Amino acid sequence: MSHASGRHFLQIPGPTNVPDQVLRAMDMPTIDHRGPDFQALGQRLFGKIGKVFGTTNPVVIYPASGTGAWEAALTNTLSPGDTVLMYETGHFATLWKKLAEKLGLKPEFIAGDWRHGADAAAIGERLASDSGHEIKAVCVVHNETSTGCVSPIKAVRDAINAANHPALLLVDTISSLGSIDYRHDEWGVDVTVAGSQKGLMLPPGLSFNAVSNKALEASKSARLPNAYWGWGEMLEANSKGFFPYTPATNILYGLDTALDLLYEEGMENVFARHDRHAAATRAAVEAWGLEVLCAEPAHYSSSLTAVLMPERKGADEFRKSVLANFDMSLGAGLSKLSDQIFRIGHLGDFNDLMLMGTLSGVEMGLKTAGVKHRAGGARAAMEVLTADRTAGSISKAA
């Protein structure tokens, strides 16, 4: 293969671009994970990781992918044969359901159309009918990475409370943490699941469980086996700055720096930046005459935008053309959306010019691949991005 000059555009919805500062932080000699230098790192991390989740409670860090954190959330809180209520928001909600089945749980799936987030009213209605409290947990994906639809987690908690139901609330934030407003404590979430490779701006390799007091109490009587995933040994070691087994030491150095970058920018500013980029991307899609997959504006994702292909076919060939001609990777349609959509990731370490490069690449790709569209999407996005960049604000900043 010939050398491609310039930088590859990785515009899938994760793994995302890793900032240079984070890469440099990981470029460290391996150290003794039982020694004082590592202990100082661990204590520093456990002291500040909760802020990005919106919690003052413990956050358990695993050397694993997000799938591991899914399993940890279930095995630490539930017992064989327990019923869990889940909502079909897309591919990843479906995978979480399949994992629950493999663990010996009984997931009850509320059907969805893959174009909306979870329906809090439907969840509340089902819980209200569960007079015997057979349902032990409600599992919801906050931002469904396969569809670009966000579920209203606070509304789900309110529905659980309105039904006066004791079920735990377990939430997957793998593609929303650090990108979309999220509040573990304030919204009454019991276990928040997350991964390192998206809004946290790290390579794959770490996953997380933020844990409420109610979840910790449930873990005392949970009977699903969880030797590797058990919270008890982890929290005991974490209290001293250590892990009960070998951690992903160098990625933890990166996490330390990534959290600093997020907090220096300010989480409200991080969320606003993602909101702007998502709005600009949707403006481009509309100008192209294409359709955003998410059908409910209140559920639009600020992490990614999934775009329906004309006649709902040809997405894979289009993505291949974009990669071949412009060295840019776009996200594929997954399972029943295969070949019907492409996904534009706009999360993590990302700015206005990177977004304009991305959308220009998509527009050139549409033309090159012969996909029916209107020109002007990149221009429409530019108008959104410059709307609040007035001459007065620039002069003042100077």
Which CA distances in Å does 243 have to 63, 90, 215, 246, 282? Answer: 10, 34, 20, 7, 43
User: Hey, which residues does 138 pair with through a beta bridge?
Assistant: 85, 169
The answer to whether the annotation marks 282 as part of a ligand binding site is no
Whether the Cβ atoms of residue 299 and residue 156 lie closer than 8 Å to each other: no
- Containing 108, the helix (H) or strand (E) segment is strand 106-110
Amino acid present at 33:
H
| φ, ψ dihedrals at 186, nearest 5° | -60, -35
Fill in the DSSP letter of residue 17.
P
Q: C-alpha angle 311/313/315, rounded to 5°?
A: 125
From the centroid of its chain, how far is CA 1? 34
Work out the widest C-alpha separation in the chain, in whole angstroms: 65
- Residue 230 is classified by DSSP as -
State the Cα–Cα distance between residues 37 and 252, nearest whole angstrom: 13
Instruction: With both helix axes pointing from N to C terminus, report the angle between 120-128 and 153-162 in degrees, rounded to the nearest 10.
Output: 20
> Cα(108)–Cα(88) distance, rounded to whole angstroms?
10
| Cα distance between residue 251 and residue 77, in whole Å | 27
Amino acid, res. 324: A
Residue 76 three-state SS: coil
Do residues 154 and 187 lie in contact, with contact meaning Cβ atoms separated by under 8 Å? yes
Per the DSSP assignment, residues forming a β-bridge with 144 are 149
- What is the C-alpha separation between 274 and 327, in angstroms, rounded? 23
The bridge status of strand 304-308 relative to strand 291-292 is: antiparallel
Residues forming the annotated binding site for substrate? 343
Residues forming the annotated binding site? 343
